[in-house]
Structure 1
Amino acid sequence: MTTFEHPWGRLTLQRWPRRRNDPLQAWDNADLYLLNTLKARALGPSTLVVNDQQGALALASLQQGPVVSNGDSFLARRARCHNRDLNGLPEEGRHLWPFDTLPESPDQVIMRVPKSLALLEWQLQWLSEQLAKDTPVWLSGMDKHLPRQLVPLMQLYLGNGRAELGWKKARLFSAVAPGKRLAEAPYPTAVEGPMGPLTVHAGVFAQQQLDIGARFFLEHLPGTLSAGTKVADLGCGNGVIGLSLLQAHPSSHLVFCDESWLALQSARDNVARYCPESTCDFHLGDGLAEYDERFDLILLNPPFHEGHVVGDYVARRLFRQSKQALNTGGELRVIGNRHLGYHKLLGKLFGKVEVLGSNQKFVVWRCS
């Protein structure tokens, strides 16, 4: 089903990136609950949309008035553009990345509750300082995904907040902006890496300590590299994998890639701290899909979820991108949980797949 009926009309919406026989639709009842609330309670025409997932909120809200969007995900931003073009709509209002400043306070805010509790805290703090006093803020999410701490966090950062009625397995939460910062969100955090403390911005994986997969992967990085080797840290997160390689091989050229703006900012901060003289690039995008250069080595610790959706389709996409982006004779090094069986997928794409290391939980493969 691709026809989305909303309070001002209908849209054709598709999930992006496109997948053959995708069983999921590009909106849910939490989106519709927010739009129904906007229709019934809007104080004025302008709306700030936070954490739109596939464009349902921003594109429908354009029928109400001017829209500014804010979010961390490149894929969500790209999905909105795809659906905007699909519906023949004009360019929507400005998109803000996490550290941007609102050009002016909107009349109201509609916000999807993010999966990451850390990102939620940081965004509530951001709203407290960006919005004019008493600006209404409405949050929603599906019941099964909502954190228990949501109302207490709203009260901490906004000074107020309450849960409203549930509707079709979604729930609405409401507050008004305080017009000033009331509490300091504890982000970014610092985790201990092999080179020292690493900056980790809100919402980036492994917020409190270096994850065990990354620790195991670090043990299986190349021992020698030719000068000028072109390397991609694909899905870089805080950048620890690429940064470790860069410290061991300072003449290599690293490209840090992620779809999360805050992850890429974490990598930027850490490279600036530990390798300030290095020549690195930072690519915000859908993996390597729109990156024209090729690589001698790609390092990948693929996620097995996208938001609340779990599956191997993200890994599949990154494996295919890696194959296309490698130079002749290049290699992909990838780590995965043992039970995910990535070797079967990799074996269909690469001529040679060998195990570099394994333990009870993880396997590292070299693919060429």
Structure 2
Amino acid sequence: MKTVAGPPAAVFFRIFFLSTDTLSVRDFTQPMTNESNSTSVTPVFSCPFGEFKLQTRHFHPKSPLQAWNAADEMLLKHCADQTDAQPRVLLINDAAGALATCLHQWQPHSWNDSYCSRLALLQNLQRNGLPFDESTWIVSTEQPQGKYDLVLIKVPKTLSLLEYQLCRLRPHLHADTQIIGAAMVKHLSTSMIQCFERLIGPTRTSRAEKKARRIHARFDAALKGAAPEPIQYGIENTPLQLINYASVFSQQKLDIGTRILLENFPASCNESQGQQHIVDLGCGNGALGCYAAWKNPQAQISMVDESYLALKSAQQSIAASGLKNTFNLINADGLNHLPATADLILCNPPFHAGTHVDDNIANRMFRDARSQLAPGGEFVVVGNRHLDYHDHLKRYFDQVTLVGSNKKFVVLSARTKGH
């Protein structure tokens, strides 16, 4: 068992170097940093297992986001009534590590699609002087090992991810496994409850408490259910094919924002530029990076995302499109720990953190892009008009130019003097 005792000084992120024949993995250290105001007081969460200092990964005093909600409280209250002194526990979608931190005495396993959730867990363990066991972290693209006595699921916002997770969970359940989901009532749909019934077994819901509700399911080994296959579609007038796993953005078809960016693609990306370095920041299924690779077959393409399923989608999009460029698939929280070598950075940033609108995500991406551009480099971003990205970009760049738009979206190019 590999355990990091005491406060971890650094964590690892992975860069996958992809060629047409091989895929190798290298680990790089990423310093444990948090952007919280140093003078702010860390929130303290009280539960039946004690009091714990907990923060989100990118804590901001004015943000409505916090590391736990009433759904976490309901799950922990239920866990406190367990008669099994040391159950084998699996946590799914524990966004900020609140459950794993509070239940650390049970050494729970965490199964998650978010690299940022891993960082949040590490930071919260550090705040509470608790060790991190590397073997307890399971990425969403891999399977857990063995059977579990208790499975706690923070129900994700997309039905496709819930279906994907429940199908892959079945081999790790036994007749007496307790499977308990939890969510805020406003985000819990009837179809999600039916998904538990269809893929796990007989299901009931609890009474609502503090606008949260639990889902209790009993495993039925006779049920059949296979994880949904990824969705594939092409980009018009190109040979490119995009592969989309559960919950990856633009899963069913090319989204309008990406489409308008492709229609206004930067002229600086072409074969005459030779071996330029192009970054697809927040790559999702890899649409922008694959298009850039098609426009310039000599370019080196880096695709960066915090979602493990997004990077798997991008990897398979590259293969399905038959692209021969050199690709770096990077699982990380932004670009701020990578060398400043990008000639062109492309970005269609998310503006939701889970179920909450959060423009801090885009601002972090803009700041990272500014620091990672090589001299002469360009940052091209697309976004909804109402998000006012033009004003946000002016905080970090000297020159911001509108290069394309329609009624809903704008495409902006940003540069800095001396770059």
Structure 1 length as normaliser, TM-score?
0.95
Superposition pairs for residues 318-337 of structure 1, below 5 Å?
Answer: 318-337=365-384
Q: Report the equivalent of 2:317.
A: 270
Deviations 1:98-157 (A, max 9, x none): 132222212111110001111011011111123233311000011111122122111111
Superposition pairs for residues 192-341 of structure 1, below 5 Å?
Answer: 192-194=234-236, 195-223=239-267, 224-225=269-270, 226-341=273-388
Deviation (angstroms), 1:340: 1.1
Deviation (angstroms), 1:348: 2.1
Deviation (angstroms), 1:282: 0.5
Q: Which range moves more in the overlay, 316-325 or 99-108?
A: 99-108
Task: Work out which of the residue numbers 99, 116, 120 in structure 2 matches 1:57.
Answer: 99
- Give 2:244's aligned amino acid: V
Task: Work out which of the residue numbers 129, 136, 140 in structure 2 matches 1:98.
Answer: 140
Task: Work out which of the residue numbers 65, 71, 77 in structure 2 matches 1:30.
Answer: 71
Task: For 2:195 and 2:44, locate their aligned partners in 1 and report how far apart those are by CA, in whole Å.
Answer: 35
- Give 1:35's aligned amino acid: L
Q: Residue 278 of structure 2 contacts residue 343 of structure 2 at CA under 8 Å; is this kept in 1? A: yes
Q: Which range moves more in the overlay, 180-189 or 358-367?
A: 180-189
Q: 1:267 to 1:305 in 2, by over 3 A?
A: same
Task: For 1:90 and 1:303, locate their aligned partners in 2 and report how far apart those are by CA, in whole Å.
Answer: 32
The answer for unaligned runs of 5 or more in structure 1 is none
Three-state SS of the structure 1 residue aligned to 2:190 is coil
Three-state SS of the structure 2 residue aligned to 1:350 is coil
Q: Residue 168 of structure 2 contacts residue 227 of structure 2 at CA under 8 Å; is this kept in 1? A: no
Residue correspondences, number: 367
Task: Work out which of the residue numbers 41, 51, 59 in structure 1 matches 2:82.
Answer: 41
Q: Residue 293 of structure 2 contacts residue 323 of structure 2 at CA under 8 Å; is this kept in 1? A: no
- Give 1:320's aligned amino acid: R
Deviations 1:17-47 (A, max 9, x none): 2335434321111001111111213644221
Q: 1:42 to 1:218 in 2, by over 3 A?
A: farther
Q: Residue 201 of structure 2 contacts residue 223 of structure 2 at CA under 8 Å; is this kept in 1? A: no
- Give 1:316's aligned amino acid: N
Q: Residue 111 of structure 2 contacts residue 144 of structure 2 at CA under 8 Å; is this kept in 1? A: no
Task: For 2:327 and 2:390, locate their aligned partners in 1 and report how far apart those are by CA, in whole Å.
Answer: 30
Q: Residue 230 of structure 2 contacts residue 246 of structure 2 at CA under 8 Å; is this kept in 1? A: yes
Three-state SS of the structure 2 residue aligned to 1:332 is strand
Task: For 1:42 and 1:123, locate their aligned partners in 2 and report how far apart those are by CA, in whole Å.
Answer: 27
Three-state SS of the structure 2 residue aligned to 1:236 is coil
Task: For 2:61 and 2:335, locate their aligned partners in 1 and report how far apart those are by CA, in whole Å.
Answer: 20
Q: 1:269 to 1:180 in 2, by over 3 A?
A: farther
Q: Residue 42 of structure 1 contacts residue 107 of structure 1 at CA under 8 Å; is this kept in 2? A: no
Q: Which range moves more in the overlay, 35-44 or 214-223?
A: 35-44
Q: Residue 91 of structure 2 contacts residue 99 of structure 2 at CA under 8 Å; is this kept in 1? A: yes
State the structure with bigger RCO (CA 8 A, min sep 6), 1 or 2.
Answer: 2
Task: Work out which of the residue numbers 201, 204, 208 in structure 2 matches 1:166.
Answer: 208
- Give 1:311's aligned amino acid: D
Task: For 2:205 and 2:397, locate their aligned partners in 1 and report how far apart those are by CA, in whole Å.
Answer: 51
Structure 2 length as normaliser, TM-score?
0.84
Task: For 1:54 and 1:170, locate their aligned partners in 2 and report how far apart those are by CA, in whole Å.
Answer: 18
**Does 2:66 match 1:66?**
no
Task: For 2:182 and 2:61, locate their aligned partners in 1 and report how far apart those are by CA, in whole Å.
Answer: 29
Task: For 2:142 and 2:92, locate their aligned partners in 1 and report how far apart those are by CA, in whole Å.
Answer: 13
Q: Report the equivalent of 1:342.
A: 389
Q: Residue 188 of structure 1 contacts residue 200 of structure 1 at CA under 8 Å; is this kept in 2? A: yes
Deviation (angstroms), 1:210: 1.1
Q: Residue 129 of structure 1 contacts residue 179 of structure 1 at CA under 8 Å; is this kept in 2? A: no
Task: For 2:304 and 2:223, locate their aligned partners in 1 and report how far apart those are by CA, in whole Å.
Answer: 32
Deviations 1:20-79 (A, max 9, x none): 54343211110011111112136442210100011110111113x121100101111110
Task: For 1:162 and 1:197, locate their aligned partners in 2 and report how far apart those are by CA, in whole Å.
Answer: 41
- Give 1:130's aligned amino acid: H
Superposition pairs for residues 115-130 of structure 1, below 5 Å?
Answer: 115-130=157-172
Deviation (angstroms), 1:184: 2.4
